[in-house]
Structure 1
Amino acid sequence: MAITGEHGALKGTDLGLSEADPRDYFALLKPRVMSLVVFTAFVGLIIAPGNIHPFIGAVAVLCIAVGAGASGALNMWYDADIDAVMSRTASRPIPAGRVTRDEALTFGLVLSAFSVITLGLLVNWFSAGLLAFTIFFYAVIYTMWLKRSTPQNIVIGGAAGALPPMIGWACVTGSVSWDSFVLFLMIFLWTPPHFWALALFKQGDYGKAGIPMMPNVAGVESTKRQIFIYAIVTALVGVLPYWMGFASAAYGLLATGLGIGFVWYAFRVLRMSPADEKMKPAKSMFGFSLIYLFALFATLLVDGLMTSLGA
């Protein structure tokens, strides 16, 4: 929207109005992050013991997706100032001037309430409570507090991204278990090496935004060591579903191989030369980490589907 006056053309956002189209509101949901949340939640729902009606299961996944999107919108509302100075986020709807902060806040709050209430009414209130806690943890504990105050922001804040498989599990069982906690740990421990690898080659961006990411606070060498340690622990935990009996031997073999690969990529980061300005090992580690987590949960999903079909 543009209005012409004696001082020339004014943008709608200059008047507190929105120039957004549906694609901008979809972008507020952080669809790439939401897709991972939906996928891991769906895996938790499928491999949980017990049965759930397909329609109720679909409603549960939809509510978790909407809740994840609501978290993303609230995150973008609060982080609009730092998004504007980072190259990878400057084109988001709020810093780009297509959506106002007030609209993003309202959008996020409405979606949060809708997702939690619908999940509680149609599935169960325990899973709805977990979803509400996840939204609160990401939007308030991580976004408003941890992200700007401590280099451990990703470590502690990673809990929000690790809870979806437990929510999916709770949708079926009405509770959580040690098995579902292992699914949580797999993502929780994977998050620091995944994001610290990104932070290594985006260190300048985080520095401009004033975010105390680990490389900016503790230095590159310390971050490299911590990535390597976390990668080893992540690889070990990744095999636990097999040893605890809720994943197949095929999963165990795949998790072992992928875990070795994850540690190898982390070792390459550890040995990365300070002269490598492009930080290619860190970029490779970041890319492989996505494959690692997706492959593990995809295999768990296949295991769960084969079990449910009696294969």
Structure 2
Amino acid sequence: MVNAAHGRSDSTSAVDPGEERPRGLRRARRIVGAYVALTKPQVIELLLVTTIPAMFLAARTIPSPWLILATLVGGTMAAGSANALNCVIDADIDKVMNRTKRRPLVRDSVPRRNALVFALALGLGSFAMLYFTVNLLAAVLAIATILFYIFVYTLVLKRRTAQNVVWGGAAGCMPVVIGWAAVTGTVQWPAFVMFAVIFFWTPPHTWALAMKYRDDYERAGVPMLPVVATAEHVARQILIYSWVMVGWTLLLLPATSWLYASFAVLAGSWFLFYAHRLYSAVRRGVETKPMALFHRSNTYLMILFCALAVDSAIGLPTLGLPF
């Protein structure tokens, strides 16, 4: 039928419902994707890499699958809350850094107020999830981690000192402590050793990235070590922390078997080789590739903690070395 007034078919005078649905679905996906991006999923991967092995070591076997799931869900919500709050506070920095300029608040994909409400809801949800399905200690540690990350690292350290990632990185070490507490209801010495391993891993990991994006941090006014110190000094610090980190991994030998010990020595030697190579290249003034060390730091941590998980799941006799 033709519309006489406009000389066109009635079928073109209204939006086709079949076309409207895909548009609405795409819009919903964009919105959901923007909120997920606020939580920085790539950063949360550290939670998965370290929490499960910590739980395996605490149980010295495979823990309850339900307990693992509940701990990971609650921990993911806590990490997402901290990361989303960080996005709200650091929106001004993210705007001027090439590495972060596509984050949701920079692109106005999510209103700032909505992002704040979302972050707070995730934090409260994480406490409730861990309290009702795991235990009170795990829930309290998760909230303490969020508060430390926001009030100590983001608001105090990040824009004021080159030691920001050293002390602020403690927040990223907490998943292993939460995982241990989830299984045992306590915090014992192996949890502190795993905490220290990640604590000393964080500076080499982050400073390697910051060497690559030095101009970004300088433009944003963030005093990362590569911004305020020479490349040789940064590479030397990376090397020192790498040696200390590998040394700390060996302190877990009394609670593990020859399997973990073998991987700790081999993976540690492999990582130290690349840390030394970076330092040597910087000293000789040749082309350096700090991102190679950055990516290998992720691989190293994954190998180390996967070995810890397998060692604990198999239940081999522990070395029990005296220290």
Task: Place the TM-score, normalised by the shorter chain, in its bin.
Answer: 0.7 to 0.9
Q: 2:311 is matched with which residue?
A: 303
Which structure 1 segments of 5+ residues have no match? 1-17
Q: Provide the secondary structure at the position in 1 that maps to 2:169.
A: helix
On the 8 A contact 1:262/1:288 being kept in 2, the answer is yes
1:219–1:28: structure 2 CA closer, same or farther, 3 Å change rule?
same
Q: 1:86 is matched with which residue?
A: 97
Q: Provide the secondary structure at the position in 2 that maps to 1:239.
A: helix
Query: Equivalents in 1 of 2:118, 2:68: separation in Å?
Result: 25
Q: Provide the secondary structure at the position in 2 that maps to 1:92.
A: coil
Q: Provide the secondary structure at the position in 2 that maps to 1:163.
A: helix
Which structure 2 segments of 5+ residues have no match? 1-27, 317-323
Q: 1:285 is matched with which residue?
A: 293
Correspondence 1:37 to 2:16: no
Q: What is the correspondence of 1:91-170 to structure 2 with a 5 Å cutoff?
A: 91-170=102-181
Q: 1:207 is matched with which residue?
A: 218
Task: Compare 37-46 and 178-187 and name the one that shifted more.
Answer: 37-46
Query: Equivalents in 2 of 1:247, 1:205: separation in Å?
Result: 42
**1:106-145 CA distance string (max 9 Å, x none):** 1111100110122112221111111111111112211111
On the 8 A contact 2:82/2:149 being kept in 1, the answer is yes
Task: Compare 287-296 and 218-227 and name the one that shifted more.
Answer: 218-227
Query: Equivalents in 1 of 2:32, 2:243: separation in Å?
Result: 42
Q: 2:280 is matched with which residue?
A: 271
Correspondence 1:226 to 2:237: yes
Task: Compare 267-276 and 31-40 and name the one that shifted more.
Answer: 267-276
Query: Equivalents in 2 of 1:272, 1:76: separation in Å?
Result: 35
Report the alpha carbon displacement of residue 275 of structure 1 after superposing the two structures with TM: 4.7
Query: Equivalents in 1 of 2:272, 2:65: separation in Å?
Result: 38
- Percent of counterpart pairs with the same letter? 41
Query: Equivalents in 1 of 2:29, 2:161: separation in Å?
Result: 35
For this pair of structures, how many residues does the alignment match?
287
Query: Equivalents in 1 of 2:48, 2:272: separation in Å?
Result: 27
Q: 2:302 is matched with which residue?
A: 294
Correspondence 1:187 to 2:198: yes
**1:239-292 CA distance string (max 9 Å, x none):** 2222x2x22212111111111122111111212247546x32x12211111111
Among residues 17, 23, 28, which one is paired with 2:38 in the alignment? 28
On the 8 A contact 2:173/2:198 being kept in 1, the answer is yes
**1:277-308 CA distance string (max 9 Å, x none):** 6x32x122111111111100011111222229
1:78–1:231: structure 2 CA closer, same or farther, 3 Å change rule?
same
CA RMSD of aligned residues (A): 1.9
Correspondence 1:259 to 2:268: yes
Among residues 73, 78, 81, which one is paired with 1:67 in the alignment? 78
On the 8 A contact 1:141/1:157 being kept in 2, the answer is yes
On the 8 A contact 2:56/2:63 being kept in 1, the answer is no
Report the alpha carbon displacement of residue 218 of structure 1 after superposing the two structures with TM: 2.3
Q: Provide the secondary structure at the position in 2 that maps to 1:272.
A: helix
Query: Equivalents in 1 of 2:313, 2:148: separation in Å?
Result: 31
Q: 1:236 is matched with which residue?
A: 247
Query: Equivalents in 2 of 1:39, 1:228: separation in Å?
Result: 23
Report the alpha carbon displacement of residue 163 of structure 1 after superposing the two structures with TM: 0.9
- Which protein has the larger Cα radius of gyration, Structure 1 or Structure 2? 2
Residue identity matched to 2:271: F
Q: 2:19 is matched with which residue?
A: none
Correspondence 1:248 to 2:257: yes
On the 8 A contact 1:197/1:286 being kept in 2, the answer is yes
Query: Equivalents in 2 of 1:81, 1:293: separation in Å?
Result: 32
Q: 1:174 is matched with which residue?
A: 185
